Chains A and B, each alone.
Chain A
Amino acid sequence: MTAPDSPVELESQFAQWRRYVQRRRELAQPDADELEDHLRGSVDALVAAGLSTDEAFLVAVKRMGSLDELSREFAREHSERLWKQLVLTGSGTVDARSRRDLRALVLCAVGAAVSVRVPELFGVSLEHDGAFYGPNVGVLVLPWLAGFLAWRRQVRRPLLGVLVALFMLGAVAANVYPLAETSQSVVLTSIHLPIALWLVVGLAYAGDEWCSPRRRMDFIRFTGEWFVYFVLLALGGGVLIAFTAGTFKAIGIDPEVFLAQWLLPCGAAAGVVVAAWLVEAKQNVVENIAPVLTRLFTPLFTAVLLAFLVAVVWTSSGIDVEREALILFDLLLVVVLGLLLYSISARDPLAPAGPFDRLQLALVVSALAIDVLVLLEITGRITEFGTTPNKAAALGENILLLANLAWSAWLLLGLARRRTPFAALERWQTGYLPVYAAWAWIVVLAFPPLFGHV
């Protein structure tokens, strides 16, 4: 016998063993307890037979066989455990915190749903006043989402004040200018104000650490997952609406007004908050899906862009740049940026550059090449025919995205040549977020007076 056996030592061995077992998803906590009891039974018997506790423990563990084999056997009986389940309600293990979460969620979701209908009390019609609802939808719904997140993060008072001030600024921007329903500025505000306010939501999401690149990257991840969940909820809502419409029509009641005026807008508003709650609740439960989609589509988009470039050179035809085309190419840059962002969000910061990084470089460079062609064309147009709010906004966005992607390409090149660390790329992207916010606010606040409210 080497060292004096102590119960303390044995307990620490059991604790270590328990940690190993708990890492196995196939073995739930009660199973681990049961197996530990078994192990203790074996150890006791072996000690009674004359072994030291150390030896007894080793022999008992050895007899139990490898954990791999054990978990495989358990998995055959409990295959459902391999599918991680998101427990929403019901089970007795729901703790006080998640119950409070649920209450806050219901409050905020109902608040968002009701807010959408509140303007009707003041004679604004959801059906006819698009000029009101377009710019205001973000102002009505997103404060509830920001409130939910701020509540979860327990943000401090000064930041809370900033959040409230920014949403009020948004409300002012949406309503202060006398814009006609058909004006370009109404459309621009309807697009840019929600973006600006979404970044305010990001402020609530990051809480007091909004300066930290890690938290900003978390918000980018959150945005991607939120989008995926929102689309899933929307699909479910679509099925609900289809069945409501079909079944009620069958008995001679036309539910169209209810569906269009109540269920759809209120459901969508509540869905914004519910999707956020789902992302928060399932953070540790389900793999992030946005990076997976990115992996699948990056090669395909690269192939399409390269094919397009080859076709442009081959046919030597200029790009026919109408306004729609410029917006299309803006969206293309947004997609490329999204592909870049979400693969960054899932990448191990310390991993060396691999083939996928080079593929991304190809994607970004081909997108840049296409965009330069488009920009050359469009600036010619603007100098020739003068500018409108739409053109100015589209051009500004194009330049913003171009600058972002150009520097990203440079950093990716450095990464591929192993000169730049990956963190530089991450810092660049997270540092760029305020630029988007600033631009969105400029479009919302400065464009209408600048262009004479057209």
Chain B
Amino acid sequence: MKVAKDLVAASATPMVLGILAEGESYGYAILKRIHELSGGELDWTEGLLYPLLHRLERLGCVEATWRSATGERRRKYYRITDKGRAELAEQRRQWDTVVGALRDIWLDPHDRGTLPAIPLEGLA
């Protein structure tokens, strides 16, 4: 199973901000971390990651510096800013709402019976 492209794109910002909230990092490591976290199910490309990082940099959510850690190549490291943390908190609140609502629907079969077909049609 691969996660749909739209969903990957929608979750991209909180994912990157969340990883950077763990500590500063660089492109390749971020991608590797996403791979680990999702057990390889999230299909991220460089074309998604780097433009996103640059956009977050432009918006002031992350800061970037070029430097070389001891014994490593020169790299562009990204660090989350206060604004980025605020953005992450906001995104997290929204995602909690979405995830909570979905969980209520899917994990409460006693109250609701089977998956309601008619309301879904109405939404489509």
Contact = CB atoms under 8 A, between A and B. Distances in A.
B73 interface: yes
Interface in B80-97: none
A37 B26 contact: yes
A38 interface: yes
A72 interface: yes
Contacts of B32: 41, 45
A33 B29 CA distance: 15
Contacts of B73: 37, 40
A38 B46 contact: yes
Nearest to B53: A34
B53 to A, nearest CB: 9
B51 interface: yes
Nearest to A34: B76
A348 to B, nearest CB: 34
A74 interface: yes
Contacts of A45: 32
A450 B51 CA distance: 73
A73 B44 CA distance: 13
A318 interface: no
Contact of A34 (B27, B29, B31, B47): B27
A37 B27 contact: yes
B54 interface: yes
Contacts of A30: 66, 76
A381 to B, nearest CB: 70
A65 B47 CA distance: 8
Interface in B47-103: 47-48, 50-52, 54-55, 58, 66, 73-76
A37 B29 CA distance: 11
B29, B51, B73 — most chain A CB neighbours (10 Å): B51
B28 A77 contact: no
A37 B46 contact: no
- Which applies to chain A's interface (DSSP): helix, strand, loop or mixed? helix
A70 B27 contact: no
Interface string A1-41: 00000000000000000000000000000110111011011
Interface residues of A, number: 21
Contact of A35 (B50, B52, B66): B50
A65 B76 contact: no
A184 interface: no
B26 to A, nearest CB: 7
B38 interface: no
A311 B84 CA distance: 73
Contacts of B48: 73
Contacts of A65: 45-47
B54 A35 contact: no
A127 interface: no
A69 interface: yes
A65 B32 CA distance: 16
A34 B50 contact: yes
Contacts of A77: 51-52, 54-55, 58
A38 B54 contact: no
A156 interface: no
B103 to A, nearest CB: 33
Contacts of B26: 37
Contact of B54 (A40, A41, A78): A78
B33 to A, nearest CB: 12
Given A37-B28, A78-B54, 18 more contacts: A30-B76, A31-B54, A33-B66, A34-B50, A34-B76, A35-B46, A37-B73, A38-B46, A40-B73, A41-B27, A41-B28, A41-B32, A42-B28, A64-B45, A69-B45, A74-B50, A77-B54, A77-B55
10 closest A-B pairs by beta carbon, nearest first, are A41-B28, A73-B47, A77-B51, A70-B47, A38-B28, A34-B76, A73-B51, A38-B27, A77-B55, A37-B75
Interface of A: 30-31, 33-35, 37-38, 40-42, 45, 64-65, 69-70, 72-74, 76-78
10 contacts: A37-B26, A38-B27, A38-B28, A40-B73, A42-B28, A65-B45, A70-B46, A77-B51, A77-B54, A78-B51
Interface of B: 26-29, 31-32, 45-48, 50-52, 54-55, 58, 66, 73-76
